[in-house]
Amino acid sequence: MADTKLKTAANHGFAFVALRVVAALAVATVLSGCYQPRYEGEPIANDFKLRHPISVAEGDRTFTVFVASQRAGLMPAQRAEVMAFSQAWRREATGAVILDVPVASPNQRATNEATREIQSLLRAADIPAGAVRIRQYQPADHTKVAVIKINYTRLVAQTHQCGLWPKDLGPNSDPTWQENRPYYNLGCASQQNLAAMLDNPADIVQPRAESAAYSPRRTQAIEKYRKGESPATTYPNPNLGKISDVGQ
C-alpha cells in the first residue's frame, strides 16, 4: 500500500512538472509571435547616399553618323559634329577613337567614303593617327542602310539601377515598416540625376586644384585700397542698356 502511494505521488509530481514545462513553452511561443527581434545591423541603410552610392567608372561615348546610300561624304552639320566630338575626346577621353564601320550593307561605298572623311577631320583636330582605329561589324539587317559609330571611353559617374523594391511598402511585420525606415528606392532618382549632371566625375572623389589668381585685377584692387579709394569697378555709364527709367 505504501509503495502504491509513493508511486501515485511521484506520478502527480511528474505530471505537475510536465504541465509547467508545457505552459512555459506555450507562453514563449506566444511571445515569439508578438515580438520581432531587432537587426544587429541595418539591412538597408537609412542614408540614401549609402543605399545608392555614386561611383566613378569607365563608360563609352558614342556619336552616330547616318550615311545615305546615294550620298558621298558627310553633310556640313555632320562635319561640325565630328569636330565637336574630337574636341570632347581631347578633353575627357581615356582611350583611342574607335570607328565602327559596317560591311556588306547597301550603303557600304558611301560609308567607306564617309569613314575616310571622318579620319581626315580627326587628324585636322590634332588627334594622332595611331589613336584612331577602325572596327568592322556586320549589320543585323543587310537590307537597310547601316551607320558609322564613333566611340571612345571616358570616366562617367553612375549608380545602380533604380526601381528595385526588395521590401513591401504596405503594413507588415518587417522592421523597415514598423520603425518607419526609408524604403530602398527612396533617393535613387536624385542620385541618378546628380551623376548625369556631373561635368567631371572625379569631382565626387576629390576637389580640383585652384587656378592662379588674376594678378592684374588683384594688383589694381590692392593699389586702390592702399590709396584709400574704393576697389569697386567704375562703369562709365551704369544706366546703359536699361529699358526702363522706373526708379531713377
Query: b/e for 11-43, b at 16 or more Cβ within 10 A?
Result: eeeeeeeeeeeeeeeeeeeeeeeeeeeeeeeee
Task: Choose among 122, 119, 135, 114: nearest CA to 67.
Answer: 114
Q: What pLDDT does 17 receive?
A: 53
pTM (two decimals): 0.59
Domains of the chain: 59-155 (3.30.1330.60)
* 199, HSE (Cβ side, Cα atoms, 13 Å): 4
pLDDT tens track, the chain, 248 positions: 445 544 444 455 555 555 565 555 554 554 444 434 343 444 678 888 888 999 999 999 999 999 988 877 899 999 999 999 999 999 889 899 999 999 988 888 999 999 999 999 999 999 998 999 999 998 888 778 889 999 999 999 999 888 888 777 778 777 767 777 888 889 999 999 999 998 889 888 888 888 888 888 888 889 988 899 888 877 777 677 667 666 65
Q: What pLDDT does 40 receive?
A: 41
Number of residues assigned to the chain: 248
- Quickly tell me which residue has 508578438 as its cell: 34
Q: What pLDDT does 238 receive?
A: 67
Q: What pLDDT does 6 receive?
A: 43
